[in-house]
Amino acid sequence: MTATRRPTLADVAREVGVSAKTVSRVLNEDGPSSPETRRRVLEAVAKLGFQPNLMARSMRVGGPDTTVGLVVPDLGNPFFGAVAGGIEDAVHGHGLTLLMGSSDDDPEREHALIRTFLARRVSVLMVAPAVGADHAHLKSHRAAGMPVVFLDRPGNGLTTDTVVSSNRAGTQEGVAHLIAGGHRRIGFIGDLPARLYTRRERQAGYRAALAGAGLPHDRGLVADAHDPAGAAEATARLLALPDPPTALLSGNNVMTIGVMTELSRSGRKDVAVVAFDDVPMAGILEPALTVVAQNPVTMGESAGAAALERLGGDRGRARTILVDTRLVPRGSGELPPPARTR
Amino acid sequence: MTATRRPTLADVAREVGVSAKTVSRVLNEDGPSSPETRRRVLEAVAKLGFQPNLMARSMRVGGPDTTVGLVVPDLGNPFFGAVAGGIEDAVHGHGLTLLMGSSDDDPEREHALIRTFLARRVSVLMVAPAVGADHAHLKSHRAAGMPVVFLDRPGNGLTTDTVVSSNRAGTQEGVAHLIAGGHRRIGFIGDLPARLYTRRERQAGYRAALAGAGLPHDRGLVADAHDPAGAAEATARLLALPDPPTALLSGNNVMTIGVMTELSRSGRKDVAVVAFDDVPMAGILEPALTVVAQNPVTMGESAGAAALERLGGDRGRARTILVDTRLVPRGSGELPPPARTR
DNA sequence: ATGAAAGCGCTAACAA
DNA sequence: TTGTTAGCGCTTTCAT
């Protein structure tokens, strides 16, 4: 971690025997400079390995930063990649650059990352909150004019623009789809921790659909996991029940991998499935996977648009933007329950 | 884009009626301060939404920043998400934070992003170069001690640590696998632009495998695309040839989606496929998809480790780290070619 | 417990 | 064509 002191403008100037400003001029092609001076300056720059300190520069020049800081729980989840893409689409034309970091769903890391962004004077802060994180400390920043937008999940302790999927209604629609197909026992495979906003909302949608159809809510049909392997186990467990579900609702894209892997492994093509959040190649599984598709790019674009309006001076009250999900029937959700004696 | 000037230490000091240093002391818990002063300062900080300017701070304090800047061509591609995850794993324990931005595979945006990172004095710069980008301008930074690492693709005009997959050998192995299965006409679906490093390397591996088996290289069996839809079209085109391929090598994860979608759509379960780069749920397609798996997490970890060594003072010559790929036979690559009269 | 002055590295503004 | 002064926002050093 050792670092020899980096040479400064003044060092170069001394080496050449000119003033710092002259060196600055040569380097930035600012005012005029004699070819001779220019040559000697460049020579000294190379010799000393001088490297301008952009921080000092931008401190002097001032001007607002042009960065949007985005904190996500997981860089590896394509959902957040897509959201980030949407944000970029929205803000890039306005001269803003998106910088993204991961909290790993850890409140402390999220806080550290936010501090990093704030200290670097991002002009917008976007956060997909980690479970259990608190955001009251952002109040003053927001009050001072820095747009703060929550994505995918609401924040805690701060009222500000928030962009979320229609988790509850979407899941409800997916489960209703299964019920309409004749299913009466429908399993729910959710992610952990169970208090995660999206998990809660989706499970609420699941219950609402059951209630809407007058079906009982059997807690034994609700299973948890935090990775594909766990989801696979949970799936196997539900299907091994004495009175097993004939259909499953997979709570997110990660769970879906495990659910589908287990169904494939056990050769159970008779179990109907609806998955929340679309996945690549869902259409070519056999049967093709019916999903409640989210629209992550639109979510990012909405967040970007909201931030731009705030930057434009809009001080109206915080909005919650609900981005619609869409039921995409492809086959797995249309499997009828096996005939059974009543 | 209006932004009210952000309050400074001096603003807070004025508000409270103390000196800037006192505010600084309270905020940094430096010297002592009376409870009363402390309270009033914090109040003013909250009221004004003061946010310390870390740029100014670190300018005064000196010392390198604790950020790793990563530039990738596409935030939406899970491959880069996984690489980023690997980098984080490697550097987080050393107090470094990863910040990531997208160049959208545009050299100008890449350059702008790099400048953004440099201006923030990142302590490490990692780049998955955009096609056509030049990196000679980073020479002085590297010389000044800032580690620069290229990922997935080599840079141009700068010799530095580089982490890439064994694209050529991996593809060669994949194609050899098909040849060993009896295939003689093997199509290659590559991404665009064709001069992209990974594309060139993989195609070279394809040719090497053909040459190694004494098979002719029929340029008519090589097709290009830049998205799944294009890959689907390319697949259909190849299969409609008078003397069509009996097997396909898909050049990357994005192409694979299109290739598999087209095979599914046309019901062609008789075409053998090997895909470069693993994809989620490859194992549950029918037939299951044989892949040449990359190891993006390891790539990220290697890059992180290399950077840490450089930060530790290693000034040895630039290394190129080749991360092995692995052939994962799952079924689609083991389909025999249809019997044919000779 | 608090403040004043100097300075981190750079560049605008104004000389010369 | 080049130099001088001042100051960006903060922290260090030394007073008070």
Q: Would the CB atoms of A76 and B78 count as touching at under 8 Å?
A: yes
**Which residues in chain B are contacts of A74 at CB distance < 8 A?**
85
Instruction: Reply yes or no on whether the pLDDT at B91 is more than 80.
Output: yes
Are A258 and A229 a contacting pair, CB within 8 Å?
A: yes
Predicted pLDDT of residue A56: 85
Domains A67-165+296-323 and A167-294+327-341 share a fold: yes
Residues with CB under 7 A from strand D: A 17-22, 25, 31-34, 36-38, 56, 59-60, 62; B 5-6, 8-10, 20-21, 24, 27-28, 30, 50, 52-53, 56-57, 59-61
Query: Is residue B25 a contact partner of residue B31, using CB atoms and an 8 Å limit?
Result: yes
A93–chain B Cβ distance below 8 A for any pair:
no
B46 contacts A140? CB cut-off 8 A: yes
Q: Min CA distance, B42 vs chain A (Å)? A: 11
Taking only the tens place, the pLDDT of each residue in B40-51 is 998 988 888 788
For residue B341, what are the CA distances in angstroms to A7, A113, B244, B337, B338?
75, 65, 15, 12, 10
Residue A139 pLDDT greater than 90, yes or no: no
CB nearest to A284's CB, from B1, B76, B261: B261
The 10s digit of each residue's pLDDT in B115-143 is 888 878 889 999 999 999 999 989 878 88
Residue owning tokens 């409140």? A107
Q: Which residue of B has its CA nearest to A93?
A: B109
Residues 231-270, chain A: which have Cβ within 8 Å of B? 257, 260-261, 263-264
3-state secondary structure (DSSP) of residue A29 = coil
Q: How confident is the model at residue B340 (pLDDT cuts 50, 70, 90)?
A: low
Q: Which residue of A has its CA nearest to B282?
A: A281
* Cα–Cα distance measured from residue A168 to residue A201, given in angstroms and rounded to the nearest whole number: 5
In this structure, of A128-137, B28-37, B295-304, the range with the lowest mean pLDDT score is B28-37
B82/chain A closest Cα distance in angstroms: 5
Supply φ then ψ for residue B330, to 5 degrees.
-130, -10
Phi and psi for B142 in degrees, rounded to 5? -65, -45
Which residue has 């800037």 as its token pair?
B20
A253-257, B7-11, B154-158: least confident range: B7-11
Give the CATH H-level superfamily of domain B9-52.
lambda repressor-like DNA-binding domains (1.10.260.40)
Q: Quick check: A51 pLDDT over 80?
A: no
- A-chain CB neighbours of B56 within 8 Å are 59
* Domain B167-294+327-341, architecture per CATH: 3-Layer(aba) Sandwich (3.40)
Contact at 8 Å (CB) between B274 and B290? yes
Pick the closest to residue A71 from A109, A26, A40, A43 (CA basis).
A109
Task: Determine the length of chain B.
Answer: 342
Q: What are residue B224's DSSP bridge partners?
A: B190
B241 vs B9, B118, B226, B235, B236, CA distance in Å? 72, 51, 21, 10, 9
Helix (H, G, I), strand (E, B) or coil at B225: strand
Top pLDDT among B228 and A24 is at B228
Q: Which nucleotides of C are covered by protein (CB under 7 A)?
A: 1-5, 7-13
Contacts with A332 (C-beta within 8 Å, 6 or more apart), sequence order: A272, A273, A274, A285, A287, A288, A289, A290
Better pLDDT: A41 or B81: B81
> Which pLDDT score, from 0 to 100, does residue A61 have?
78
φ, ψ for residue A211, nearest 5 deg: -60, -40
- Under DSSP, the state recorded for A337 is P
Q: Where are the alpha helices (DSSP H) in chain A?
A: 9-16, 20-28, 35-48, 54-61, 78-92, 107-119, 139-143, 167-180, 197-212, 228-239, 253-265, 296-311
User: And the tokens for B190?
Assistant: 């590559």
Name the band, by pLDDT with cuts 50, 70 and 90, for residue B64: low
- What is the percent of chain B where pLDDT is above 90? 79
A101–B101 C-beta distance less than 8 A? no
Q: Does B320 touch chain A (CB under 8 A)?
A: no
Adjacent-strand bridge partners of B322 = B164
Q: Which CATH number applies to B67-165+296-323: 3.40.50.720, 2.60.40.1180, 3.40.50.2300, 1.10.287.1260? A: 3.40.50.2300
At B71 the three-state DSSP class reads strand
- Choose the mutation target among B281, B298, B311 for the interface with A, i.e. most A CBs under 10 Å: B281
- Give the Å distances, CA to CA, from A17 to A5, A20, A53, A82, B39: 21, 9, 21, 54, 51
| Contacts of residue B172, Cβ cutoff 8 Å, sequence gap at least 6 | B205, B206, B208, B209, B212
CB contacts, 8 Å: A51 with chain B: 140-141, 144
Question: Quick check: A260 and B283 CB within 8 A?
Answer: no
A53: nearest nucleotide, CA–C1' criterion: C9
**Distance from A304 to chain B by nearest Cα, in Å?**
13
Average pLDDT for residues B201-215, to the nearest whole number?
A: 98
pLDDT value at residue B118: 84
Alpha helices (runs of H) in A49-77, residue ranges in sequence order: 54-61
| CA A277 – CA B323 distance, rounded (Å) | 32
Half-sphere exposure of A3 (CA within 13 A, CB side): 20
**What are A102-112's pLDDT values in tens digits?**
999 999 999 99
d(CA A298, CA A318): 19
Residue B146 predicted with pLDDT over 60: yes
Instruction: Pick the more confident residue, B244 or B341.
Output: B244
Q: Residue A140's Cα: distance from chain center in Å? A: 24
Nearest in space to A153 (alpha carbons), one of A143, A140, A142, A167: A167
How far is residue A206's CA from residue A217's CA, in Å, rounded to a whole number?
9
- Does the pLDDT of residue A1 top 70, yes or no? no
| Model confidence band, residue A327 (pLDDT cutoffs 50, 70, 90) | very high
Query: Distance in angstroms, CA of B139 to C1' of D2?
Result: 30
Asked if the Cβ–Cβ distance from B145 to A3 is below 8 Å, we say: yes
Stated in angstroms, how far is A41 CA from C3 C1'?
42
pLDDT more than 90, % of chain A? 77
Q: Which of residues 53-92 of B touch A (CB under 8 A)?
A: 53-59, 64, 67, 74-78, 80-82, 84-85, 88
Spacing of B6 CA from C14 C1' in Å: 28
Closest by alpha carbon to A149, among A68, A64, A63?
A68
Rounded to the nearest 10 degrees, the angle between the axes of helix A107-119 and helix B54-61 is 80
Q: Which residues of A touch B271 (CB under 8 A)?
A: none
B154: tokens are 């080599």
The verdict on whether omega for the bond into residue A329 sits within 30 degrees of 0, i.e. cis, is no
- Across all strands, nucleotide nearest B13 (CA–C1'): C3
pLDDT band at B17 (very low <50, low <70, confident <90, very high): very high
Query: Residue with structure tokens 């980008």?
Result: B133
Order of strands, sheet of A272-276, starting from the edge strand that comes earlier in the sequence? A222-225, A186-191, A247-250, A272-276, A290-293, A326-328
Q: Is the pLDDT of residue B341 over 70?
A: no
Nearest to A98 among B51, B101, B313 (CB): B101
Nucleotide nearest to B23 (CA to C1'): C2
Rounded alpha-carbon distances, angstroms, from residue A213 to A46, A182, A185, A250: 76, 11, 12, 20
| Strand C atom within 7 Å of A9 CB | yes
**Mean pLDDT value across residues A165-186:** 98
Per-domain residue ranges for chain A?
9-52, 67-165+296-323, 167-294+327-341
Helix (H, G, I), strand (E, B) or coil at B316: coil
**Dihedral (CA of B170, B176, B181, B185) sign:** positive
- In three-state secondary structure terms, A13 is helix
Q: Could you count the other beta carbons within 10 Å of the beta carbon of residue A102?
A: 29
> Using an 8 Å Cβ cutoff, are A154 and A129 in contact?
yes
Name the residue facing B98 among A64, A101, A142 (closest C-beta).
Answer: A101
Residue B111 CA distance to nucleotide D6 C1' (Å) = 33
Please report which residue ranges of A158-295 form alpha helices under DSSP H: 167-180, 197-212, 228-239, 253-265
Residue of B nearest to A136 (CA): B46
The residues pairing with A101 across neighbouring beta strands, listed in sequence order, are A71
Q: What pLDDT score does A54 carry? A: 76
Separation between Cα atoms, residue B231 and residue B250, nearest integer Å = 9
Contact assignment for B100 to A101 by CB distance below 8 Å: yes
Q: B64 to each of A69, B18, B27, B288, how far by Cα in Å?
A: 21, 31, 21, 49
> Taking CA atoms, what residue in A is nearest to B86?
A76
Q: Other C-beta atoms within 10 Å of B165: how many?
A: 27
Q: Is B323 helix (H, G, I), strand (E, B) or coil?
A: strand
- Residues B13-42: what's their mean pLDDT? 90
Which of A133, A131, A139, A208 lies closest to A167 in space, CA to CA? A208
Residue A224: in which H helix or E strand, if any?
strand A222-225
Reported as a single tens digit per residue, the pLDDT across A228-265 is 999 999 999 999 999 999 999 999 999 999 999 999 99
Q: Angle, to 10 degrees, between the axis of helix A54-61 and the axis of helix B54-61?
A: 130
pTM summary value: 0.92
- Res B30 pLDDT > 80: yes
